[in-house]
Amino acid sequence: MSHGYIGTRSRSLMEASDRKITRRTLLRSMASVAIAAASSPLHAQHESIGLVAPPVRLEDVWLVDQTGQKRLLSNLLLDNVTALQTIYTGCSSVCPLQGALFNAVQNRIPQLRTRHPVQLVSIGIDPLSDTPSALHDWLVRFQAGPAWKAATPTLRDVDRMRTALSGSTLPLGNIADHSTQIYCFDATGMLRWRSSDLPRTQDVCDVLSALSRV
């Protein structure tokens, strides 16, 4: 048997081992975050918190982003590790807290060890008011950089998207009572993690870091 074959086979085994370790690390990291989320007093508000197993691919919908560009959700998510939140620009209660949370996560992104780009996406859930200009102003308000985008689905698709994100069969209710969970997607566009309401910055960063190494 040639040394070249041995070397190639050895490298293949090492790469397979690295992938296995990465997946194990991902599951361990996300499971520990899920345990922390379960202790949150807001845990009872959601049927689904933590690791999404098996991962879920959301039904594709058209979105209009803060620049007025129309794009598919799948294209927005593909090749990026994504933390996604739902907001509405006229909100004056919890949405400013959500904006502050994403601002804090944004500031931590450069310190994450990643194989894939990391992005933040704020989804407007009031299509009649969350226009491109309103989304743009909202992003400016929270000092969003180029890795933080905002977009709004159509009136026909918004509730269906919110239900799919939450993984819940409970009624959505008024948008003023909307979820403040963070939803994390891997670079293939699969939903892999749902947070508790208004999670800790570190928890979101831990999950993004784990997904970025897959």
Instruction: Supply the pLDDT for residue 26.
Output: 57
214 residues of the chain, pLDDT tens digit each: 544 444 444 444 434 434 443 555 555 555 454 444 444 444 334 458 999 999 999 999 999 999 999 999 999 999 999 999 999 999 999 999 999 999 999 999 999 988 999 999 999 999 999 999 999 999 999 999 999 999 999 999 999 999 999 998 888 888 988 999 999 999 999 999 999 999 999 999 999 999 998 7
pLDDT for the residue 47 = 53
Task: Check residue 39 and give its pLDDT.
Answer: 40
The per-residue pLDDT for 214 is: 79
Domain locations along the chain: 3-212
> How far is residue 201's CA from residue 65's CA, in Å, rounded to a whole number?
25
- pTM (two decimals): 0.81
Report d(CA 115, CA 26) in Å as an integer.
13
Looking at residue 17, its pLDDT comes to 39
Q: What is the pLDDT at residue 18?
A: 42
Residue 69, CA distances (Å) to 91, 149, 212 in order: 23, 12, 27
pLDDT score recorded for residue 29: 54
- CA-CA distance, 24 to 82, in Å (whole number)? 20
pLDDT at 45: 41
* Distance (Å, whole) CA 111 – CA 193: 21
Q: Assess if CATH 3.40.50.300 describes domain 3-212.
A: no
Q: What are phi and psi of 183, to 5 degrees?
A: -115, 125
The whole-number pLDDT of residue 13 equals 40
CA distances 1 to 7, 8, 61, 118, Å, are: 11, 12, 54, 44
